[in-house]
């Protein structure tokens, strides 16, 4: 049976019968999913205050000490007070949602009222937004505790990969001599090292996907239009997307549920009207979803060369697990043109930087240190990225030949991908996202990740494909049709259930008292 039909039949049942009810035993605060944490909170074994103390202890031990991950730019002034308030609300009224009292951290491009938003750019260190961004407002309304902002590749300034002019270099907990991806580097490091329950990144050319791959995480870019960008610094109005980065598919489904939706201030979200599921995405966490699913193996995305051999072996092993789980692999699936070369001609973020940056900067309060690209160049010209200066020199994109040609090329690729999926009746495409380990700090080697999802705006999921002999992550990607997030969640969760247990980073081990005993189940 086609997976789309199976999901429709199963969604109502799964929404009513949760598979995450915890029985007597223990819960590991380091590896528990959000739903497992929520069960411990409901049982009274755990409080949000205790959970917050747990993350603050790990931040103290590992972010500025130990491996010195340097993933965090700023923390809220009193996150424990917010946790205590949500504990009191839980006792009096019950939880608002499955995110009630759950601490999360977000990349420093998302507006969080009371915290500065700098994009890692030192001249904007004191730039405070007037209010929460749209996604942050939704997460907080669900009861999440957004308790800090994360380091990143500098949004505006010249800095090394995975580093910012404001906070310096973020480090990978799997190997602190390497970066945890870029540009959502701090999110990759913080989530991988269990410094929070989940995190947010943002993606122009791979900035959710690369750090998810390099940090052994599940990361999703939803269909362009599913998630608002209001209150989020962007580099591209046509491809920029925020997305969840998590240690498990369960956490990703919980986060995604509270991020999507229509926003009148970002009209690209009008595309989502009538196309989002009625159920929470956790309703699609089906362990047998791979059985009977038709997956196309997109061979043009497989790189060659001796440096890729180990990564490709891990990808092959992952695909074999998928096949054994009952999926039908259509292999190979190809296009009648050079896909990697065609994608190289669709990079438009450098052209869109000025209007995209100004969309965010112009909405800042009157006292903000920088409120336009021109003002940024005037005040901080020496450290402003050349791409921003080049974009500032473009008078208009309305008749810009290279820009219009890139848009046309991108649509051609989208049409070709959807046509091949229709031809073979595919539920998704699969291919390596990244077959090389994270870059060494200071490396400027060309990236070899897949740009397909980033350049097309199609929904995609990065999933861990195992660790190299050096213990470094490699990543597989599932790509779907527009608004096929329920299918991707189902496939990703089934893949997770049929894969070896995720290996945590060796440089950020468990601290004392991270395991709690749950009370007996008397149901």
Catalytic residue, candidates 48, 127, 153, 183: 183
Instruction: Please tell me the distance from the alpha carbon of residue 327 to that of residue 306, in angstroms, as a whole number.
Output: 29
Catalytic residue, candidates 207, 248, 272, 349: 207
Instruction: Please tell me the distance from the alpha carbon of residue 435 to that of residue 302, in angstroms, as a whole number.
Output: 9
Ramachandran class of 274: left when φ > 0, alpha when ψ lies in -120 to 50, beta otherwise: left
Instruction: Please tell me the distance from the alpha carbon of residue 335 to that of residue 333, in angstroms, as a whole number.
Output: 7
Give strand pairing partners of 178: 440
Which residue do the tokens 């992952």 mark? 318
Angle between helices 485-497 and 309-324 (to 10 degrees): 100
Instruction: Please tell me the distance from the alpha carbon of residue 278 to that of residue 411, in angstroms, as a whole number.
Output: 29
Q: Do the Cβ atoms of 48 and 41 come closer than 8 Å?
A: yes
Instruction: Please tell me the distance from the alpha carbon of residue 226 to that of residue 256, in angstroms, as a whole number.
Output: 10
Q: Look up residue 327 and give its two tokens.
A: 């999926």
SS3 42: helix
Parallel/antiparallel/unpaired status of strands 460-467 and 218-221? antiparallel
Residue in 232, 236, 263, 243 with CA at minimum distance from that of residue 361: 232
Q: Look up residue 309 and give its two tokens.
A: 């051999």
Give strand pairing partners of 164: 168
Q: Would residue 350 show up in a list of annotated catalytic residues for this protein?
A: no
Q: Would residue 122 show up in a list of annotated catalytic residues for this protein?
A: no
Q: Look up residue 277 and give its two tokens.
A: 């599921």
Q: Look up residue 289 and give its two tokens.
A: 């979803």
477 φ/ψ angles, rounded to the nearest 5 degrees? -130, 140
Residue in 38, 252, 238, 266 with CA at minimum distance from that of residue 135: 266
Q: Would residue 107 show up in a list of annotated catalytic residues for this protein?
A: yes
- The 8-class DSSP code of residue 282 comes to G
Parallel/antiparallel/unpaired status of strands 163-164 and 145-150? unpaired
The CA–CA distances, whole Å, from 434 to 86, 211, 216, 383 equal: 40, 10, 11, 30
- Where in the sequence numbering do the catalytic residues fall? 107, 183, 207
């Amino acid at each position: 049976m086609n997976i789309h039909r199976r999901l429709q039949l199963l969604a109502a049942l799964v929404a009513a019968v949760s598979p995450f009810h915890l029985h007597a035993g223990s819960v590991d605060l380091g590896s528990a999913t959000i739903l497992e944490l929520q069960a411990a909170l409901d049982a009274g074994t755990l409080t949000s205050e205790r959970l917050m103390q747990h993350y603050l202890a790990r931040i103290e031990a590992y972010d500025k000490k130990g491996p010195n991950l340097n993933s965090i730019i700023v923390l809220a002034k009193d996150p424990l007070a917010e946790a205590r308030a949500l504990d009191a609300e839980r006792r009096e009224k019950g939880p608002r949602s499955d995110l009630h009292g759950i601490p999360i951290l977000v990349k420093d491009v998302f507006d969080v009222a009371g915290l500065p938003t700098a994009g890692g750019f030192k001249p904007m260190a004191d730039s405070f937004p007037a209010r929460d961004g749209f996604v942050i407002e939704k997460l907080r309304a669900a009861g999440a505790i957004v308790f800090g902002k994360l380091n990143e590749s500098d949004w505006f300034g010249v800095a090394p990969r995975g580093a910012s002019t404001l906070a310096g270099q973020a480090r990978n907990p799997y190997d602190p001599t390497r970066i945890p991806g870029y540009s959502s580097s701090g999110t990759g490091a913080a989530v991988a090292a269990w410094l929070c329950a989940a995190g947010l990144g943002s993606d122009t050319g791979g900035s959710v996907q690369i750090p998810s791959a390099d940090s052994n995480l599940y990361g999703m870019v939803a269909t362009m239009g599913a998630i608002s960008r209001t209150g989020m610094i962007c580099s591209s109005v046509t491809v920029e997307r925020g997305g969840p980065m998590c240690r498990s598919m369960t956490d990703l489904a919980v986060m995604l549920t509270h991020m999507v939706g229509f926003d009148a201030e970002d009209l690209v979200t009008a595309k989502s009207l009538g196309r989002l599921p009625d159920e929470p995405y956790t309703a699609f966490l089906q362990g047998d979803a791979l059985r009977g699913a038709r997956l196309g193996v997109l061979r043009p995305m497989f790189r060659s060369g001796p440096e890729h051999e180990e990564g490709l072996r891990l990808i092959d092993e992952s695909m074999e697990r998928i096949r054994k789980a009952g999926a039908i692999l259509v292999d190979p699936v190809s296009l009648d043109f050079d896909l990697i070369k065609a994608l190289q001609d669709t990079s438009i973020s450098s052209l869109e930087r000025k209007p995209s940056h100004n969309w965010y900067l112009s909405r800042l309060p009157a006292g903000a240190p920088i409120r336009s690209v021109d003002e940024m160049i005037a005040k901080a010209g020496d450290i402003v990225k050349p791409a921003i200066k080049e974009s500032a020199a473009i008078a208009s994109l309305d008749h810009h030949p290279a820009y219009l040609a890139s848009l046309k090329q991108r649509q051609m690729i989208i049409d070709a991908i959807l046509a091949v999926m229709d031809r073979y009746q595919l539920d998704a495409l699969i291919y390596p996202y990244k077959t090389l380990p994270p870059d060494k700090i200071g490396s400027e080697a060309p990236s070899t990740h897949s740009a397909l999802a980033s350049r097309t705006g199609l929904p995609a999921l990065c999933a861990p494909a195992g660790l190299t002999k050096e213990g470094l992550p490699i990543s597989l990607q599932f790509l779907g049709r527009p608004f096929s997030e329920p299918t991707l969640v189902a496939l990703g969760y089934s893949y997770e259930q049929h894969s070896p247990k995720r290996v945590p980073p060796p440089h950020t081990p468990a601290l004392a008292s991270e395991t709690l005993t749950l009370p007996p189940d008397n149901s």
